[in-house]
A and B are shown apart, each in its own frame.
Chain A
Amino acid sequence: MTKYFGARVERVEDEALITGHGRYTGDISLPRMLAAHFLRSVHAHARIKGIDVSKARKMPGVHAVYTFADLPQVLREKPFPLFVNSPVIKQGRTWHALVESEACYVGEPLAVIVADTRYIAEDAAELIVVDYDPLPTASDCRKAVLDGATLAHTDAPDNLASVFTIETGDADGAIKTAPHVHHESLWQHRGCGHAMEGRAVTAVYDPNDDLLTSWSATQGPYLVKTVIGMMLGLDDTKIRVVAPDVGGGFGPKGIVYQEDIVVPWLARELGRPIGWVEDRYEQSVATTQERDEYAEADVAYDDQGKLIAIRVSVIHDTGAYLPWGVITPMIGATTLPGPYVLPNYKMVVTVALTNKVATSPLRGTGRPQAVFTMERLLDRIAQALDLDPVVVRERNMIRPDQLPYEVGIVGRDGSPVTYDSGDYPKCQRMALDKIDYAGFSARQRTALEKGRYIGIGIANLVEATGLGPYEGASVRVLTSGKIGVFTSAASQGQSHKTVFSQIAADRFGTELQEIEVTTADTSKFPIGVGTFASRVAVNTGSSVHEAATKLRGRVLKLAAKELGVREEDLDIVPRKVVLKDGVKPTRNRPREIALTRLLTLSAGVPGFTSEDKGEPGLTETAFFSPPQSTYSNATHVVEVEVDPEIGNVEILRYVVGHDCGKVINPMVVDGQIQGGVAHGIGNAFYEFMDYDENGQPQTHTLEEYLLPGILDVPEVEIVQMESPSPLNPIGVKGAGEAGTIPAAAAIIAAVENALGPFGVRIAQQPISAQQVLGFIADAKKAGGPGRAPVVHEPMEM
């Protein structure tokens, strides 16, 4: 039955959220709860010679103040674990729960105050005197990698967290002999997540059960639990972590932070519930983000515009720590080839430590940078050979009959990058037709005659989704007769509960409203990984699919026995199993049996031998472990108009061609794409997390860090196709990031195209109106098309 799979089903999450009855972490109020507030370093790099908290402790309403020295041995002796380690990491630095003696970014927590209210805690924080000894700051990742550079950590040999190479073929050799080679310098900056809800932790310790419970606005409750166990030295049976309603995640909430450990510790230490809510300033400076990447790229190609080789050397700013290893630049490195045949490829990445908050995955996670690099290079080829940019892409595109296609490199998931299914030329053609690409030249000419500058840009993406190692789900008959789905998946708006309900309702064979999904609670489902990298629909969805299917089988088998008929004669409807129409009941047996009755029967009778030698109860559990990533793809085509007098860019049309395999709920996927594009528009024009040369954050309010508003985001026209994934039972691929990843690349290509008459070349993101005018002026000075002027000074945003 596929009544719900593929349908635009209204969300089960919405009733609570639209009536103001959502339960976000900061909404949780417990009796005798106290408020925590963290005092944070105001210097990007400083030795902490002393912290005098004596006046703060005396303030009425303050219950406790702790610095590193006050923490228990178990929390002091080791830093946080490195979550995604790798042999290429030379310095896998992670933070301590509180700064021990050297603060390495503005915002790093030095002390925690616990008071009756947050108001009082902030008052008390002002009474704490920190004896800072400011140290030289490593604030520019390009400088940080040079010999003799200022050290981000005084005890480090250098600022090189990692240097790694991803390659296939022989790029160096091929470039030497290629007929055409072009060099490009690129600078990309992706900024912050700025989910509408900040981070938050509410924790309570129950001595009766010896159970520490923590609610956290996290994408990974199971990871949080593991780290609490490790850092506090607690057995995992003593810890429960719940991700309740979470107001957006986008990557940074997947990291386990100092507050995730300190707040639960405080709850145990003080024997009172503790609540902590991050404010917007803290989210700007102390929550991870993606930041700067500088790339020097060479592309070699033939007279037809076919790629021979690409060689890139990248400097990636990881900030002061690497909580998530080098995943972001690694994903970028393995994404760059995209849907194109690239026989020789080499990317060398230098990951630099700086005195800024750590970087981490952020919607797209390194892929936007990779796509931008590849797509700019393809446009350069088109410009050099005077070819249509689409023709260049078509000539290089992997054909559908070449799939499964081995790119030749090993992916972030440890397996060779193998594109499993997809039709990239068809998806691109679909998007181009939708925007009427064929008619664009004429549109552009007409506009130019009227003094208007319009342009079109295109960018393609192939994205590894559905990463392992696994997720799982249990599906069972509840005592109410409804069907319970239990999983680990944490949601921050991705409509997981609805999507799982759709799958379970179809596979078990009942109505959508009969399904109750419980998720993201470590006490309700034993094990899980987390929500990131567009992996939950694939992995948890597949698990729900398997478990619900198995449960249907169990239920029918038991019902058949009880009703004395064959399984094929039965059907499931809400709350019961019934004989199909036309089937005669067995003598002295009813036509139907309630699920609750079956549940009772399956539990057996106390003291009696069970006839059924199988498992008691009506629960089925399944784990899905993908053999490798499954690859989605997308094409973005954007039409823009540029005002050459003030540099303003308006988006005239935005089309996305998208393939994420089989679509469970088109409404949800469309919403993810529209929302993803909004973020991409932010990356193209508005979002810049600025730091000065002393590592001081400059954009720490929403008036300075600009998020796209409703006037900045047009309607995205989406054309969907489905190349089912062969790698999971539901044929699904991930869909959360394809709206963002190619967006800035396509938009900036369009801006460059609009300014073609001036010979502008752009190789950076974001770009501001002021910079657009600067590009025009530079191009005029250079007398026409030239190498893209890369503006390295952050001030010129």
Chain B
Amino acid sequence: MDQFVMESDPPAKRETIPDLRRTFPLKVNGEPRVVTVEPRVTLADVLRDHLGLTGTHIGCAHGVCGACTVLMNGQAVRSCLMFAVQARGAEITTVEGLVKDEALHPLQEAFRAHHALQCGFCTPGFLMTLIDFLGSNPDPTEEEIRQGLTGSLCRCTGYQNIIRATLAAAKVMRSETMEVAHD
């Protein structure tokens, strides 16, 4: 572990100094929230521990597994690699924000229909990544889906059903878009 300390070790803070904390607003799933935390607290921890949104999971806390992925202003980010204070003024969407008017998002429906989850721990990260991915790739091939999901690890499913679910959801989302276009 020691080999990576790149510089001399400054003394760790001995107290939690209250005035290190910051208060800032952000929007989460459309709701305005105000948070007061130390700047070192990650967005993932704020969502889970301060805002009660435990659907976002922390799998590794070092940005590899993707379980913590949420949307910031519509784009996928690893919430374990952002300090919450960096999200001030931003719009955050978590897995809890996918259900609209009590209806499941097509991705959620497809994940269930295609058995794309087993333990479910990585699932919110996949769902949020896919929202971003399908936003720019509404009609992806299987290979493109694989390339788009390299940043999300799953230990249970072996991925194939996730790909099937994504293809199915993309189809539904395209036809919904067309319906809206025709309205």
A20 lies within 8 A of chain B by Cβ: yes
B34 within 8 A of A: no
Taking A11-B112, A24-B57 as contacts, is the C-beta distance between A674 and B158 under 8 angstroms? yes
What's the Cα separation between A22 and B48 when bound, in Å? 13
Mark out the residues of chain A between 392 and 446 whose CB falls within 8 Å of any chain B CB in the assembled complex: none
Chain A residues with CB under 8 A of B65: 196, 280, 702
Residue on A nearest B121 in the bound complex, by CB: A247
Report the nearest B residue to A677, measured CB to CB.
B158
Q: Does B15 contact A (CB under 8 A)?
A: yes
CA distance A17 to B149 in the complex (A): 19
Name the distance in Å between B60's Cβ and chain A's nearest Cβ: 4
User: Which residues of chain A from 424 to 482 have any CB-CB distance to chain B below 8 Å in the complex?
Assistant: none
**Identity of the chain B residue whose Cβ is nearest the Cβ of A27 in the assembled complex:** B54
Residues of A within 8 A of B104 (CB): 18-19
From 241 to 273 in chain A, residues with beta carbon under 8 angstroms from any chain B beta carbon are 245-248, 250
A-B contact pairs, 6 of them (CB 8 A): A18-B111, A18-B120, A196-B65, A247-B121, A671-B158, A715-B160
Partner of A494, one of B55, B61, B118: B118
Q: Which one of B64, B98, B155, B163 has the greatest number of beta carbons of chain A within 10 Å? A: B155
A96 at the interface (CB under 8 A from B): no
**B119 x A248 contact (CB < 8 A):** yes
Give chain A residues whose Cβ lies under 8 Å from the Cβ of B108.
18-19
* Secondary structure of the A contact surface, majority rule: loop
Partner of A27, one of B12, B48, B95: B48
Say yes or no: is B182 at the interface (Cβ < 8 Å to chain A): no
* Cβ contact within 8 Å between B60 and A280: yes
Q: If the complex has contacts A11-B112, A492-B119, are A22 and B158 also in contact, measured as CB distance less than 8 A?
A: no
Stretch in contact with the other chain, from B71-79, B83-91, B122-130, B170-178: B122-130
Q: How far is the CA of A127 from the CA of B119 in the complex (A)?
A: 37
Question: Which secondary structure dominates where chain B touches chain A?
Answer: loop
List the B side residues contacting A492 at CB < 8 Å.
119
Please indicate the chain B residues that have their CB under 8 angstroms from the CB of A675 in the complex: 118, 154-158
Known A-B contacts A10-B113, A19-B98, A24-B57; the reply to A493 vs B118 at CB < 8 A is: yes
Contacts A19-B96, A20-B94, A120-B16 given; indicate if A678 touches B118 (C-beta within 8 A): no
Select A21's contact among B1, B49, B55, B127, beta carbons within 8 Å. Answer: B55
A14 and B111 form a contact (CB under 8 A): yes
C-alpha spacing A194/B124, complex, angstroms:
18
Q: Are A671 and B118 in contact (CB under 8 A)?
A: yes
Known: A19-B55, A196-B122, A702-B65. A716 touches B160 (CB 8 A): yes
Residues of B within 8 A of A126 (CB): 12
Collect the chain B residues with CB atoms within 8 Å of residue A709's CB. Answer: 150, 153
**Bound form: Cα–Cα A409–B8 in Å:** 61
A707 interface residue, CB < 8 Å from B? Answer: yes
Report if A29 contacts B (CB, 8 A): yes
Within 8 A of B (CB), among A194-224: 194-197
8 Å CB contacts to B: which residues of A1-59?
10-11, 13-15, 17-24, 26-27, 29, 42, 59
The residues in B between 38 and 57 inclusive whose CB is less than 8 angstroms from any CB of A are 38, 40-41, 48-49, 52-57
B interface with A by C-beta (< 8 Å): 1, 12-16, 38, 40-41, 48-49, 52-62, 64-65, 67, 94-96, 98-99, 104, 108, 111-113, 115, 117-124, 127, 146-147, 149-150, 152-163
- What string of 1s and 0s marks CB contacts (under 8 Å) between A94-131 and chain B? 00000000000000000000000101100100110000
A277 neighbours in B (Cβ, 8 Å): 58
**Could you tell me if B123 and A703 are in contact, using CB atoms closer than 8 angstroms?**
no
C-alpha spacing A143/B116, complex, angstroms = 45
In the assembled complex, the Cα of A27 lies from the Cα of B15 at a distance in Å of 27
* A310 contacts chain B at the CB level, 8 A cutoff: no
Q: If A197-B121, A494-B118 touch, does A19 touch B99 (CB 8 Å cutoff)?
A: yes
Could you give, for residues 61-82 of chain A, a 1 whenever the CB lies within 8 Å of some chain B CB and a 0 otherwise? 1000000000000000000000
How far in angstroms is the closest Cβ of chain B from A711? 5
A702-B60 contact in complex given A19-B108, A711-B150, C-beta closer than 8 Å: yes
Partner of A711, one of B12, B49, B147: B147
B155 to A710, Cβ gap below 8 A? no
Kindly state the separation between the CA atoms of A702 and B38 in the bound complex, as whole angstroms: 27
For the complex with contacts A195-B121, A493-B119, 10 further pairs of A-B residues with Cβ separation under 8 Å are A10-B113, A19-B104, A22-B121, A23-B54, A195-B119, A196-B156, A280-B61, A280-B65, A710-B162, A713-B160
Contact A711 B146 (CB under 8 A): yes
Q: Are B1 and A493 in contact (CB under 8 A)?
A: no
Is A676 positioned at the interface, with any CB of B under 8 Å from its CB?
A: yes
**What is the CA–CA distance of A20 and B126 in the complex, to the nearest angstrom?**
12
Asked if A279 is at the interface of the complex by the 8 Å CB criterion, the answer is: yes
With A196-B67, A679-B155 known to touch, is A59 a contact of B15 (CB < 8 Å)?
A: yes
In the complex, which residue of chain A has the Cβ closest to the Cβ of B38? A119
Closest B residue, CB atoms, query A13? B120
Nearest A residue to B142 via CB reads: A715
Instruction: Tell yes or no: A701 within 8 A of B by CB.
Output: yes
Alpha-carbon gap, A277 to B111, bound state (A): 27
Is the beta-carbon distance between A20 and B159 smaller than 8 angstroms? no
The docked-state distance in angstroms from the alpha carbon of A128 to that of B157 is 42
**Whole-angstrom distance between the alpha carbons of A713 and B163 in the complex?**
12
Taking a contact as CB atoms closer than 8 A, the residue among B14, B98, B111, B161 that contacts A671 in the complex is B161
Within the complex, the shortest CB–CB distance from B109 to chain A, in Å, comes to 8
Complex contact A20–B119 (CB within 8 A)? no
Complex Cα distance A710/B159, Å? 6
Question: Is A60 part of the contact surface with B, judged by Cβ < 8 Å?
Answer: yes
Is the pair B62, A702 in contact by a Cβ cutoff of 8 Å?
yes
Cβ–Cβ < 8 Å partners of A739 in chain B: 158
CA distance A59 to B15 in the complex (A): 6
B56's closest neighbor in chain A, by CB?
A20
Which residues of B have CB within 8 Å of A14? 111-112, 117, 120
Contacting residues, chain A, for B120 (C-beta < 8 A): 13-14, 17-18, 22, 245, 247, 493
Residues of A within 8 A of B62 (CB): 280, 701-703
Do A197 and B16 touch across chains, with their CB atoms under 8 A apart? no
* Distance between Cα atoms of A715 and B160 in the complex (Å): 6
A608 smallest CB distance to B (angstroms): 47
Give complex CA distance A60, B14 in Å. 9
The residues in A between 469 and 506 inclusive whose CB is less than 8 angstroms from any CB of B are 492-495
Choice from B54, B64, B146, B155 contacting A703 with Cβ under 8 Å: B64
CB-CB < 8 A to B54: which residues of A? 20, 23-24, 26-27, 29
Given A27-B48, A197-B119, the answer on whether A22 and B55 have CB atoms closer than 8 Å is yes
| Nearest 5 CB-CB pairings of A with B | A20-B55, A247-B121, A493-B119, A17-B120, A493-B118
**Interface residue A668 (Cβ < 8 Å from any Cβ of B):** yes
Q: Are B12 and A17 in contact (CB under 8 A)?
A: no
Does A667 interact with chain B (Cβ within 8 Å)? yes
CB distance from B8 to the nearest CB of A (A): 15
- Cβ-closest chain A residue relative to B17: A60
Nearest A residue (CB) for B40: A119
| B159–A24 CB distance below 8 A | no
Q: How far is the CB of A196 from chain B (nearest CB, A)?
A: 4
How far does the alpha carbon of A385 sit from the alpha carbon of B60 in the complex, in Å? Answer: 50
Q: How far is the CA of A27 from the CA of B47 in the complex (A)?
A: 11
A280–B155 contact, CB under 8 A?
no
A123–B13 contact, CB under 8 A?
yes
Closest to A16 in B: B120
Contact A710 B64 (CB under 8 A): no
Distance A247 CA – B120 CA, assembled complex (angstroms):
6
Q: Which residues of B contact A700 (CB under 8 A)?
A: 1
CB distance from B53 to the nearest CB of A (A): 7
Interface pair B159/A196, CB less than 8 Å apart: no
In the bound complex, do residue B49 and residue A29 qualify as a contact, i.e. CB atoms below 8 Å apart? yes
Using Cβ atoms and an 8 Å threshold, which residues of chain A touch B152? Answer: 710
Do B118 and A196 touch (CB < 8 A)? Answer: no
Q: How far apart sit A670 and B153, CA to CA, in the bound complex (Å)?
A: 19
Most buried by B among A23, A24, A716: A24
**A247 and B161 alpha carbons, distance in the complex (Å):** 18
B118: chain A residues within 8 A (beta carbon): 248, 493-495, 671, 675
Q: Are B12 and A196 in contact (CB under 8 A)?
A: no
State which residues 696-742 of A face B: CB under 8 Å: 700-703, 707, 709-711, 713, 715-716, 739
